[in-house]
Amino acid sequence: MSTENSNITKDMDALEAGDAGKTDSALKNNSTQKNDLTQGTIWKKILFFALPIFLGQVFQQLYNTIDSLIVGKFLGDQALAAVSSSGSLIFMMVGFFNGVAMGAGVIIAKEYGAKNYQSMRRAIHTDVAFGLSAGIVLTVVGVCFTPTILRWMNTPADVMPQSVEYFRYYFYGAVFTVMYNIFVGILQAVGDSRHPLYYLIFSSLVNVVLDLVLVGGLRLGVGAAALATTISQGISAALCFLQLLRARTEYRLCIREIGFHLDSLKNIVRFGLPSGVQNSVIALANLVVQTNINGFGEYAMAGCGAYFKVEGFAFLPITCFAQALSTFVGQNLGAKNYGRVKKGVRFGLLCSVSAAEVIGIIFWLAAPVLIGLFSHSPEVLDFGVRQARVESLFYCMLALAHCIAGVMRGAGKATVPMFTMLGFWCVLRVTYITAALHFYPHIEVVFSAYPLTWCTSNIVFLLYFFKADWMHNFERIKA
């Protein structure tokens, strides 16, 4: 063990009382081994790391979906339309900061894999300071500018009051959303995907109870649904924060160390800014798509919103493997396990693409039943099923794009997926919809834009992924 690592260990042991030091040291070593993705059977390490992420995202998507289910059943289609139009705007507002946090995760994973614990701790505490600052800014912007953004989105006048109410209550708790993602990113970067799962399950149950009481029982309106989500996110963020404070490992969080370390901040921005810009611009493009959907009326908003809620579940195996591959690649590149990186990448890509396509086929077949959970209106059901029948069979393409992008981010090459996704998922998507709707003014044009841009972006991804020198010579990548 190096001198700087030894000093960090001594400092952390000093924080514990009495003669519990030996027990704490054993616990720390055991925790480190469990979280270390640089050793052990590759497929087991990836699956056991990805599974808690998947389950956690299931519960996260579940309590987001429950908002729509309860609102649709108790408050009607107009309220469902107000809530359903929230996804693109929320992702646009939150996506940039979460993307930058992903850059921090790559740095933390590499330093953890290389056992550079002092640098890792600076990155962790800078990441937390960034999240607190970003969360405050996001809260102010979201609360103040929600009506303006909704007007830009061509939100119908009869839906506008409830949309404003929902967004504002949601953004009152934006700092909790940002900090939860920051804390989860830190834990996952060091290989701990279990604790975020436990906390998310608990907060999801709280959200369900609050939804049923506030919306289903007291009929307090869509603002109550957003308030329930805000409270639940606050609880999950607080639990993750406490886990990092009490962790008996090198990545333990110390309140007095939270602050901006210039070298760490530069690296976080360098690795995270491309992902942040990518998230925001893609969300902006999807905002344009949502604006076009809004132009087809209230039923289209509600039906497509229901589709996106179900699609969120289909998207889970994609995101969990993409995140697992980023962490796996980052840790193993830090440890200079180049052959292990290549084997893990092949396994992760195969699993994600296969799982996504199976789910897509199931969704295609079961679309009327799944969309019908949100509304009994035939018009709402029609829009949702039509979108599912156009898009769901192409989920394998979506999985391939996200997982290759995850590998590139883990390798520190975030600019490649940024420019590829901006070019195809933003410029091409918006251009295609705008031009095609002029000649064929049907909502299927909007639906077809997604599989079209997924497939075309994969052409570039695959060419770069298999032909580029970096994929075959990971040892040439500089941290």
Q: 217-263, pLDDT tens digit by residue?
A: 888 888 888 888 889 889 999 999 999 998 878 888 999 999 988 88
pLDDT at residue 354, as a whole number: 92
pLDDT tier at 331, thresholds 50, 70, 90: confident
Predicted TM-score of the model (pTM) = 0.71
Q: Are 92 and 77 in contact (CB under 8 A)?
A: no
**Which residue has better confidence, 403 or 248?**
403
Nearest to 176 by CA among 206, 213, 221, 220: 206
Can you state the angle between helices 429-439 and 444-467, rounded to 10 degrees? 150
**Which residue has better confidence, 432 or 294?**
432
Is 476's pLDDT higher than 80? Answer: no
pLDDT at residue 162, as a whole number: 83
pLDDT at residue 357, as a whole number: 93
Mean pLDDT within 455-469: 83
pLDDT at residue 34, as a whole number: 59
Is 319's pLDDT higher than 90? Answer: no
pLDDT tier at 129, thresholds 50, 70, 90: very high
> Alpha-carbon distance 446 to 436, whole Å?
9
pLDDT tier at 216, thresholds 50, 70, 90: confident
Mean pLDDT within 19-39: 53
Most confidently modeled of 1-5, 306-310, 452-456, 473-477? 452-456
Is 84's pLDDT higher than 70? Answer: no
> Alpha-carbon distance 363 to 370, whole Å?
8
- The total of other beta-carbon atoms located within 10 Å of residue 112's CB is 30
pLDDT tier at 474, thresholds 50, 70, 90: low
The burial of 438, by beta-carbon neighbours within 10 Å (0-12 exposed, 13-18 middle, 19 or more buried), is given as exposed
pLDDT at residue 63, as a whole number: 66
Is 473's pLDDT higher than 60? Answer: no
Mean pLDDT of the chain: 81
pLDDT tier at 432, thresholds 50, 70, 90: very high
pLDDT at residue 392, as a whole number: 93
pLDDT at residue 342, as a whole number: 86
Q: Are 395 and 314 in contact (CB under 8 A)?
A: yes
Percent of the chain with pLDDT over 90: 19
Is 275's pLDDT higher than 90? Answer: no
pLDDT at residue 14, as a whole number: 40
Q: Which has the minimum average pLDDT: 64-73, 85-94, 316-325, 419-428?
A: 85-94
Q: Are 57 and 319 in contact (CB under 8 A)?
A: yes
**Which residue has better confidence, 279 or 135?**
135
> Alpha-carbon distance 284 to 89, whole Å?
8
pLDDT at residue 85, as a whole number: 62
pLDDT at residue 88, as a whole number: 62
pLDDT at residue 471, as a whole number: 55
HSE-CB for 297 with a 13 A CA cutoff = 5
**Which residue has better confidence, 84 or 459?**
459
Q: Are 118 and 5 in contact (CB under 8 A)?
A: yes
